[in-house]
Chain A
Amino acid sequence: MGFGEGLLHLLLVVVQALALLVPLLIGVAYLTYAERKVLAAIQLRKGPNVVGPFGLWQPFADAIKMLMKETIIPAGSNRLLFLMAPMLTFGLAMIAWAVIPVNDGWAIADINVGVLYLFAISSLGVYGIIIAGWASNSKYAFLGAMRSAAQMVSYEVSMGFVMVSVLLCVGSLNLNDVVMAQRHVWFAIPLFPMFVVFFISTLAETNRAPFDLPEGESEIVAGFFVEYSAMAFALFFLGEYANMILMSTMTSILFLGGWLSPVGFLPSGPGWLVLKIVVVLFMFLWVRATFPRFRYDQLMRLGWKVFLPFSLAWLVLTAGVLLAMGWLPHGA
């Protein structure tokens, strides 16, 4: 590869990344708006409605406010790590998108081990939180970080098993293949219990209600980001919502057929993927508005004593059925 060609290639990748990330960031901004609107609707309130028509400029007003404020670095904190943590959270939420296919073959990097890559990146999310908690030099932040570390590591295990049972049906770790394997039926139907386990685990993985113990604003004020302000806080905030979108995308790709059209006569396309993501995101918000927070021991019990054995058993069942019926995919 010549130098010029390499540069061109690089440029192409940058353009692709921008084409993906800019809509994503706008999506994140409007997810915060949507959350407030949905919560308000469920609680019979109006939600943001002052800035712009229907309050549509609210996210931008919030962003500008955050930018204008001062970033306070607490005394006795580890300055470098304190600032690194939000960047890490935000950065990880962004780089995961490199392997997401938005249409057949439309991915920035169409790699063989896409599912593993996604899983690896999502398992790193805990670092942002744990480093933030430690670097803040505050006991609330530290408590939040500890909770989060235990929680995310616990739920990753059953998430891994769920993914493996999907992969058994696909026969490949490539996300494109995963979607294409759902041409006839979405995996959410034959693997419905796994779909449920996966969805609940994503709630725990993103620290969303009812598993928002790391923040637990009523007990440990705001958990790991109690000391953060201004832009550092905004990065955390963006990272958290970007992670929600990422997890919804994973759910859509693994279980809901990605960009495939659910109705035969309509063409498949990225629009379907966006629609599915929005539906899953709505479920995130719906759950938040509906369920009270879990107690910590209940959370651990659910993860280790319910989800783990269940997903393991279902994995064995899936493998057994595939083997018995001769449905194992052969070399994708």
Chain B
Amino acid sequence: MIATLAFYVFALILLVSAAMVVTARNPVHSVLFLIMAFFNAAALFLIAGAEFLAMILVIVYVGAVAVLFLFVVMMLDVNFAELREGYQRYAPVGAAVGAVLFVELLMVLGGWHFAPDAASLRLGQIPAGVSNTDALGRVLYTDYVLLFQLAGLVLLVAMIGAIVLTLRDRKTSRHQDIGRQTARSAATSLRMVTVAIGAGVAPGDILRPQPEAPLTPPEPVGGGAGHGGPHHAAEIR
């Protein structure tokens, strides 16, 4: 009895929050209602005895996907008034389409009957005495290995796609190269200069990080005079 009551409570909250997702004025509120919907769906999974799915739903959808949703929605500068205007204009059309679909669905469900073999064809009966997680583990890499790996490839393609479409290597951005940082030694970065009293440090005495690819040095005109940049010049001085 309690389970039935709980089912209806969670299902009701799920439906209400799902409706709020599409009707809330503020998109941030929409995402928060979406999270609520996820939670209630997880609760429904729990009631159905699918505890693994319930937890994974929370971890993946609430813990990661919805965070990114929220992240994006908060960053977007959405003009609510403009959104509402479109909503007002298309609401009657949308409602009409929805009503037609709803009536159709009702008609469809009116003729509801299953194929006689339906029960015997059902997938994945859980063997007795095996926990939900265990049962999933038993079939995931055996019966459904093909589908599982294909799903993995779909995700890989999504990842490649995201990188292809967004990653830009700017020549100006300065990445940290830890190898280079630790490979630096005092010999390459520190030089002792004797400074005459009262003269101060000449600009050439201050070591600056050298550019990555040295600009092609001008051809030395005579001997090695112009060679080696300002540091040597400072030393010679």
Contacts and interface: CB of A to CB of B under 8 A. Distances in A.
A111 B131 CA distance: 11
A173 interface: yes
A123 B51 contact: no
A156 B52 contact: no
Given A112-B133, A116-B59, A130 B52 contact: no
B55 A113 contact: yes
A156 B64 CA distance: 9
B68 interface: yes
A123 B55 contact: no
B52 A146 contact: no
A106 B43 CA distance: 24
A152 B176 CA distance: 22
A140 interface: no
A113 B67 contact: no
A146 B73 CA distance: 12
Interface in A155-173: 156, 160, 173
**Majority secondary structure, A binding face:** helix
B56 A116 contact: yes
B176 A149 contact: no
B41 interface: no
B71 A120 contact: no
A104 to B, nearest CB: 20
Given A112-B132, A113-B55, A297-B176, A120 B63 contact: yes
B58 interface: yes
B131 A156 contact: no
A331 interface: yes
A149 B133 contact: no
A331 B132 CA distance: 12
Residue from B35, B59, B132 having most chain A Cβ neighbours under 10 A: B59
Contacts of A120: 55, 58-59, 62-63
Contact of A124 (B2, B56, B62, B134): B62
A292 to B, nearest CB: 16
A301 B176 contact: yes
Contact of B71 (A1, A113, A149): A149
A13 to B, nearest CB: 14
Interface in A117-151: 117, 119-120, 123-124, 126-127, 130-131, 134, 142, 145-146, 149-150
Nearest to B54: A113
A130 B133 contact: no
A107 interface: no
Interface string B113-151: 000000000000000000111100000000000000000
A169 to B, nearest CB: 15
Interface in A84-121: 111-113, 116-117, 119-120
A218 interface: no
Contacts of A153: 63-64, 67-68
Interface string B161-187: 000000000000000100000000000
Contact of B74 (A112, A126, A134): A134
B13 interface: no
A127 B132 CA distance: 29
Nearest to A133: B74
Nearest to B28: A134
Interface string A38-73: 000000000000000000000000000000000000
B55 A116 contact: yes
Contact of B67 (A119, A149, A331): A149
Given A116-B56, A130-B67, 9 more contacts: A112-B132, A113-B55, A120-B55, A120-B62, A124-B58, A124-B63, A127-B35, A173-B133, A298-B176
8 contacts: A111-B51, A127-B67, A127-B70, A145-B74, A149-B68, A153-B64, A156-B64, A331-B134
Interface of B: 2, 28, 32, 35, 51-52, 54-56, 58-59, 62-64, 67-68, 70-71, 74-75, 131-134, 176
